[in-house]
Structures are given as C-alpha cells and as structure tokens.
Amino acid sequence: MQSNTIINLLRNAEISKFIGLHIDVDAKKLVLDAKKYKDFDIKVIATLINVYQKAKSKLPEHYKLKAALNLKSYEQCTSEKVAIFKSSIMGIENKTILNITGGIGVDDWAFSKKALQIFSCETDEEIHKLATYNIELFGLKNVNRILAEGIEFADKNNNYDIIYADPDRRTNNKKNFRLEDCQPEILKNLDKLLDKAKFLWIKVSPMADLTYLKRNIKEIKKIYVIALNGELKEILLCCKKKFENIPEIFAINIENDKVFEFKNPYQELKNTFCSEGIYLYEPSKSIVKAGLTKQYSSETNLNLISEKSNLYISNSKLENFQGKVFKIISREFYKPLDIISYFKQNHIKSANITTRNFYEKAEELWKRYKLKTGGNDYLYFTTDFCNQKLMYHCKKI
C-alpha cells in the first residue's frame, strides 16, 4: 500500500472515523462484507486496520492517534517502550541528534521529548512520507526529516552531539548477524561517524555476538542488552572516539512500566555449585545474552547447576529475581526408561520442555516421549557440575 494512499485515507475525516469504529473488527470479515461498504475501498482500509491491530501493544501512542503505518515500517520499528528507555540512557537532554536511519520515526518520537534538535535521514521515500506525516500528527517541532542517505548527509554537514544508527540487514540470514551485511555500512564509515559526534549509538540485532562486536568496534564504551517482557529486542552500543577500555555491559529487562537493570559488577566472583534444592531459577534472556550469568549468580547467592547450564538452584525463594522461578517437584537422573515410568506415574502427557547444556533438543524430547506442548508442567533437562544428566520436573511460581 502506497504512502500517499495511507495518508489520504487518514486525512479523510469520514474514513478516519470508520477506521476508529472498526479498529477491533476482524479485517478479513470486513473484506468479506465489502458490499456493505460501497462508499469505501474496504480492502485498503482493512489492510490498514490489520496493521493497527498488530501495532496496538508495540506502538500504543501511534495506535491511539492512528499514525501512518504500513506493514514494513511496523515490523522494522522499535517498540515505544524500548525507544523511551533508550532516550533515558543516551544523555540526549538538550542535545542535537543525527539519526542516520530514521525509519518510521519511533526513536525520533521518543528522542523529541528531551533532545534540542533531531535531524533524521531516510532513503526509502515511502517510509519517509509516512514519518513526515506522523511528525505533523504528533506535533514534533524539533524533528527534521531529510530524504537522504544518512552517512552522506553527516559528511556534508556540521558536527552533532550524538549520532544514532540502526543498520538494516541486507540478507535473510537470521542465524548470524554481521555489520558487514548491513546498510548503511557502519564499520566502513566508523571513523568518519566518530569524528562527527561526541557519541555514536548503534542499535544491532539481538542475534549479534558480543565478542564479534567488541572485536570489530574497539571504541565501544557501553553495551546494553535489552529485553521487553522477557524477550530480547536489541543490543545498543555506545561508542566514543579513542575509547580503549573494557566496555561496561548492562542487562536490561523492561516489564510493564518498570525497568530492571543488572550491570557487570567487575568484582571477584563467588560462585557455588549445587544440583539439589527446592527452587529452580532461569535468569532472564538479557542476562544470559550479556554473558552475566555467573555474575548474577554471585550477586544473588544462587547456586549454579553447572558452568554452562545458565540455571540456578536454591533452597530459598529470591524476591525480585530477574527471570523465571520454579518450584521443583522432582529431580530425576536422566535414564529414558525411568523417565517414561515417571511420566506414567505422574500422568504427564503434555509439558513445557527446556534444555540447557544437554545432548538432545527439546523437539527431540517431545517426540521421544510423545508429549504435547504446553500445560502446567515444566521439564528442564540439563547436565550438572558433576556431568550427571538430570531432569527437573517443576511448577512455575
């Protein structure tokens, strides 16, 4: 759907009202009932309504005001909560920002609440038009949209306090993330960008390997691994010219309106190992991705099940734990025939299965034991610090 089509629809008061009245209606049903709405291009309207329904939780303010969105811009953009969090840590108060990858403008929307001026570049004319409409809709007086390639624009203009970049992958390889596969070419232009701003902030895929990032960008000052409601969303890098020390690493989890942060404490680790206890703990994905599993174990005095399991165990229940907490029903040594008997005795026909440092994958275990997915039983298969193969049968707290 063309940007002009979307904008013209939203500027039509009658159509905008129709969208508002039918925004929770099944879009497919609207198309099937198209004969009832002869005055409207119902297929186009239904497509837009479908995008709004997807955006309701990710972009609540954009949803509320019926911002101009298409499916591509929705799928690529940052969630509002993550964008607001980023604006709180980037030191943007009364600063001038150049966003070299403007997109639909959700990050600009968040930055505009604190920054002095934002210059936002975009090469996709369709997305640029949608974002320009949204600036007007939100009344963002300090956001300036530019239809241009961001690095070229930076090269020709003055310096900025902050440059922000969200490079887009040019390949469909979802298993590996390399900045070399992204546009714009950050690594190739890194020195140029660092010369143009006091700080360069780079958003990268949560699939990116931290060791790879630190090896290829020596100037990383801070690394934020950001999760929203337990799901990894992005990795944010703060870079500064000539910075040569070890970067600080932060694991962030945003839950509802609360932000939980754990920072690498840079102190001697006091890890203990144990595979027996009352409670099993699975640290948040941001802690695991940030490589802070052992540090968090030391900080919380929880026992590691093994060096590689990313699971903790304890006889005590820890409040405000960053991750999932389970009550252990039983710990079983992993012997397939004994496991089959255990499932029969306990009438387990469906379960949530997680494997950590285990030689079989969850999919193989569901198939082997003919279990359905889901339910109230949680099974953790792992290898402990004594190299014993174990299964923990748990209930979520």
Is position 273 within any domain?
A: no
For residues 98 and 207, membership in a common domain is answered with yes
Is position 270 within any domain?
A: no
Instruction: Enter the tokens of residue 48.
Output: 């837009």
Is position 271 within any domain?
A: no
Q: In this predicted structure, what is the pLDDT of residue 172?
A: 59
Is position 384 within any domain?
A: yes
Instruction: Enter the tokens of residue 276.
Output: 């027996």
In three state form, how does the secondary structure of the chain look? CCHHHHHHHHHCHHHHHHHHHCCCCCHHHHHHCHHHHCCCCHHHHHHHHHHHHHHHHHCHHHHHCCCCCCHHHHHHCCCHHHHHHHHHHCCCCCCEEEECCCCCCHHHHHHCCCCCEEEEEECCHHHHHHHHHHHHHHCCCCEEEEECCHHHHHHHCCCEEEEEECCEECCCCCCCCCHHHEECCCCCCHHHHHHHEEEEEEEECCCCCHHHHHHHCCCEEEEEEEEECCEEEEEEEEECCCCCCCCEEEEEEEECCEEEEEECCCCCCCCCECCCCCEEEEECHHHHHCCCHHHHHHHHCCEECCCCCCCEEECCCCCCCCEEEEEEEEEEECCHHHHHHHHHHCCCCEEEEEEECCCCCHHHHHHHCCCEEEEEEEEEEEECCCCCEEEEEEEEC
Helix 42-58 and helix 3-11, axial crossing angle in degrees, nearest 10? 90
For residues 139 and 227, membership in a common domain is answered with yes
* Rounded distance between C-alpha atoms, residue 89 and residue 87, angstroms: 6
Q: In this predicted structure, what is the pLDDT of residue 2?
A: 87
Helix 3-11 and helix 13-21, axial crossing angle in degrees, nearest 10? 90
Q: In this predicted structure, what is the pLDDT of residue 349?
A: 98
The closest alpha carbon to 103, from 76, 80, 85, belongs to 76
In terms of residue numbers, what domain contains 145? 75-263
For residues 232 and 381, membership in a common domain is answered with no
Instruction: Enter the tokens of residue 77.
Output: 């953009």
Per the CB < 8 A criterion, the answer to whether 194 and 239 are in contact is: yes
* Rounded distance between C-alpha atoms, residue 102 and residue 111, angstroms: 12
Looking at the structure of the chain, the number of domains it has is 3
Is position 269 within any domain?
A: no
Q: In this predicted structure, what is the pLDDT of residue 40?
A: 86
Mean pLDDT by 10 residues, the chain (397 residues): 91 94 92 84 92 96 96 94 98 98 98 98 97 98 98 93 92 72 95 97 96 97 98 98 95 95 87 97 98 96 97 97 98 98 98 98 98 98 98 98
Q: In this predicted structure, what is the pLDDT of residue 374?
A: 97
pTM to 2 decimal places: 0.93
For residues 243 and 286, membership in a common domain is answered with no
Is position 64 within any domain?
A: no
For residues 50 and 88, membership in a common domain is answered with no
For residues 52 and 83, membership in a common domain is answered with no
Q: In this predicted structure, what is the pLDDT of residue 173?
A: 56
For residues 293 and 378, membership in a common domain is answered with yes
For residues 7 and 99, membership in a common domain is answered with no
Q: Tell which of 239, 263, 287 closes a domain.
A: 263
For residues 196 and 88, membership in a common domain is answered with yes
Q: Tell which of 228, 263, 298 closes a domain.
A: 263
Can you tell me which residue has the tokens 């306990």? 346
Is position 309 within any domain?
A: yes
The CATH number covering residue 213 comes to 3.40.50.150
Is position 66 within any domain?
A: no
Per the CB < 8 A criterion, the answer to whether 144 and 118 are in contact is: yes
Q: Tell which of 215, 235, 263 closes a domain.
A: 263
For residues 254 and 330, membership in a common domain is answered with no
For residues 189 and 81, membership in a common domain is answered with yes
For residues 284 and 259, membership in a common domain is answered with no
